[in-house]
Amino acid sequence: MSILTYADLPSAALETLLSKYGLTIVLIDGAKPIPGSFWGDSEAGLVGHQLYLRPDTPIHSALHEASHYVCMDSTRRQTLHTNAGGDYQEENAVCYLQLLLADYLPMMGRTRMWSEMDAWGYSFRLGSSQRWFEQDAQDAREWLLAYQLIDNDNRPTWRLRQE
């Protein structure tokens, strides 16, 4: 299975999902550098409320950066450029939310996201993103619940962290 990219998704699927958070997608042509990309290459970039992508940007990267936007506090969101920052707990919450959001995109879903996160090199102490999510991510879930970013049924609330 190849990595799902922005070009693979049905038209406007990602835009519709992320607009619920006030994020706007800016598509960059060809192989031009992506503004705000922390990792460079085809990885998504964040500047303010804009998520920069190319057709070859992996969806796991787009959802990860979008989840950073959702999980960061409002002060960091106001000055956001490239490095989303955050601490260990927030990073875990970002990964958890990224997995939940995957279920709202055609062709992606949580199962594929687990595979793609592992293939990209996300690192979890239980050895895989699926094992982490199912057996070791209670703290990430509780963090998201505390900031009212998900509900008790693990559904996104479509809110941004307000602190």
Q: Would you list the domain boundaries of the chain?
A: 6-146
d(Cα 86, Cα 135) in Å, to the nearest integer?
Answer: 23
- Given this model, what pLDDT does residue 86 score? 84
Bigger pLDDT: 83 vs 19:
19
Which distant-in-sequence residues (6+ apart) come within 8 Å of 26 by Cβ? Answer: 35, 50, 51, 52, 53
8 Å CB contact between 9 and 102? no
| pLDDT value of residue 163 | 79
Q: How far apart (Å, rounded) are the C-alpha atoms in residues 35 and 45? A: 6
More confident residue, 158 or 11: 158
Residue 141, both tokens: 């879930």
Neighbours of 103 (CB within 10 A): 14
26-85 pLDDT per residue, tens:
999 988 999 989 877 899 999 999 999 999 999 999 999 999 999 999 999 999 998 888
Q: Helix or strand or coil: residue 142?
A: helix
Can you give the pTM of this predicted structure?
0.94
Over residues 85-109, mean pLDDT: 95
pLDDT tens readout for residues 108-140: 999 999 999 988 877 677 789 999 999 999 999
pLDDT bucket at 1, cuts 50 / 70 / 90: low
* Mean pLDDT confidence for 83-88: 85
Mean local confidence (pLDDT), 4-33: 95
Please list the residues that pair with 53 across neighbouring strands.
Answer: 27
